[in-house]
Amino acid sequence: LMPSPKNGTVTPKVADAVKEFAAGKVEYRTDKGGNIHAVIGKMSFTEGDLLENYNHFVETIEKIRPSTVKGTYIKKITLSGTQTPGVQVKLAAAE
């Protein structure tokens, strides 16, 4: 991962950036298809840690849902490791 001003890893306020990332700041990005890409953990994390991060991320996405959006907001969730096939998660398990 190369430092980039766009993702907050190049900044004149280094101390603030370090505190934010140490506190668990997570960067995510979206694409034209309405997909959200984010890292919820590493393969070395325990199952409990990954599940906690996953649940918190889904809750956060639901919390920032625009009030103008009607209907189903999260239609499908797929998890994958780097260069691995995706595994679809049941939405009932996500809530």
Residue 8 within any structural domain of the chain: no
Residue 70 within any structural domain of the chain: yes
Residue 5 within any structural domain of the chain: no
Residue range of the domain that includes 46: 14-94
| Residues 9-24 pLDDT 10s | 677 777 876 777 666 6
Q: Which are the contacts of 54, defined by CB distance < 8 A and separation ≥ 6?
A: 40, 41, 79, 94
pLDDT at 77: 92
Residue 31 within any structural domain of the chain: yes
> Residue 26 is encoded by which pair of tokens?
């997570």
Phi, psi of 45 (to 5 degrees): -70, 155
> What is the number of domains present in the chain?
1
Residue 2 within any structural domain of the chain: no
**In terms of Cα–Cα distance, which of 5, 46, 3, 54 is closest to 26?**
54
For position 27, which CATH number holds? 3.30.190.20
pTM: 0.69
Residue 30 within any structural domain of the chain: yes
Check the CA dihedral 20-55-44-86 and report its sign: negative
Residue 64 within any structural domain of the chain: yes
